[in-house]
């Protein structure tokens, strides 16, 4: 992945974020940008062995599954299930970034997340994946926006040697963390770190609260490494409460999937999409798999 060199002027950097989406190594549009189907391991609620969970997911048409890391699962079980079923492990999710964010004022708290990231990077390499999903920071009453920005960037830079050693990418996710809530700022944040192993794990549904996914995709461009799939209903948000917006089935919310797919195609994205929605038993997971097929084909 190509990265623009660091641009010091803030105004130039903001406008360059959009321009860069059109000019940084753009590939010819792909016919179907979402081609591999994954989900989060915690969405599987049936009381089964790792092997049987992997078998079920493969039977249901999933190509991969993402685990949290660090986790308590024997890596031998994970690798045996992967090799037996052919279900891939495209990446892992840092399991400490919410409780112990890299933006914390306490260096000991930041160290917890940093150590978890190191473990996750090595786990991902072991599993044969390519990305570790990381929430870069959290802004709240006790952590200012500026402090979150500076601290989290500094901690991510410290992790780059481990990312280089493992060859695993650090993929930052947009979540409801009161941080990096503009696509131009999100692009700038990555460009300031200025390393090909740092990019974005773009969550389509999380943006719908305050924006449009296609706008973010255009601005982030080649910085997008992976895609998370979920839905959101602005009407439910308005009528029932903020978090109720997520209580809508895939393909039934406010995400315009044909437009999203077109935007992804325009930046040359071709790869994984991982569901991050309420899971359940085999029947529920089958519905998710089928809904994802519809999303993949939406034009």
CATH code, 131: 3.20.20.150
24 inside domain: no
| Total domains in the fold of the chain | 1
19 inside domain: no
Q: Model-level pTM?
A: 0.89
Map tokens 């990555």 to a residue: 190
Helix H, strand E, coil C: the string for 29-70 is: CCCCCEEEEEEEHHHECCCCCHHHHHHHHHHCCCCECEEEEC
Q: What is the pLDDT of residue 157?
A: 98
C-alpha–C-alpha distance, residues 229 and 249, integer Å: 11
- Which residues in the chain come in under a pLDDT of 50? 1-25
C-alpha–C-alpha distance, residues 60 and 58, integer Å: 5
20 inside domain: no
Radius of gyration, CA atoms only, the chain = 19
Q: Which CB contacts under 8 angstroms, 24+ apart, belong to 142-150?
A: 142/105, 143/101, 143/103, 143/104, 143/105, 145/178, 145/179, 147/103, 147/105, 148/101, 148/103, 148/179, 149/179, 149/189
Q: Which domain holds residue 38?
A: 34-297
Q: What is the pLDDT of residue 31?
A: 75
10 inside domain: no
Maximum C-alpha span of the chain: 54
90 inside domain: yes
Query: Would you state the structure tokens that stand for residue 299, as one six-digit string?
Result: 């034009």
Q: What is the pLDDT of residue 1?
A: 41
C-alpha–C-alpha distance, residues 47 and 58, integer Å: 17
118 inside domain: yes
174 inside domain: yes
- Between the CA atoms of 260, 261, 263 and 267, what dihedral angle is there, to the nearest 10 degrees? 140
22 inside domain: no
């Amino acid at each position: 992945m190509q990265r623009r060199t660091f641009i010091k002027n803030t105004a130039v950097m903001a406008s360059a974020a959009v321009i860069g989406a059109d000019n940084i190594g753009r590939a010819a549009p792909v016919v179907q940008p979402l081609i591999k189907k994954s989900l989060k391991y915690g969405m599987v609620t049936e009381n089964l062995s790792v092997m049987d969970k992997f078998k079920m997911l493969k039977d249901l048409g999933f190509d991969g599954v993402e685990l949290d890391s660090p986790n308590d699962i024997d890596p031998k079980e994970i690798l045996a299930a992967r090799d037996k079923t052919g279900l891939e492990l495209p990446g892992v999710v840092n399991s400490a970034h919410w409780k112990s964010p890299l933006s914390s004022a306490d260096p000991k708290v930041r160290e917890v997340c940093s150590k978890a990231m190191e473990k996750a990077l090595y786990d991902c390499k072991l599993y044969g994946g390519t990305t570790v999903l990381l929430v870069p920071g959290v802004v709240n009453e006790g952590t200012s926006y500026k402090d979150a920005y500076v601290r989290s960037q500094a901690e991510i830079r410290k992790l780059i040697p481990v990312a280089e050693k493992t060859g695993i990418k650090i993929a930052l996710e947009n979540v409801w963390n009161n941080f990096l809530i503009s696509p131009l700022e999100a692009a700038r944040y990555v460009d300031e770190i200025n390393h090909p192993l740092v990019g974005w794990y773009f969550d389509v549904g999380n943006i719908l609260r305050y924006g449009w996914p296609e706008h973010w995709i255009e601005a982030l461009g080649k910085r997008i490494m992976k895609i998370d799939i979920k839905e959101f209903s602005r009407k439910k948000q308005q009528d029932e409460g903020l978090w109720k917006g997520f209580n809508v089935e895939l393909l039934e919310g406010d995400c315009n999937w044909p437009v999203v797919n077109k935007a992804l195609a325009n930046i040359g994205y071709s790869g994984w999409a991982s569901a991050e929605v309420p899971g359940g038993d085999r029947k529920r997971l089958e519905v998710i798999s089928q809904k994802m097929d519809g999303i993949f084909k939406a034009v």
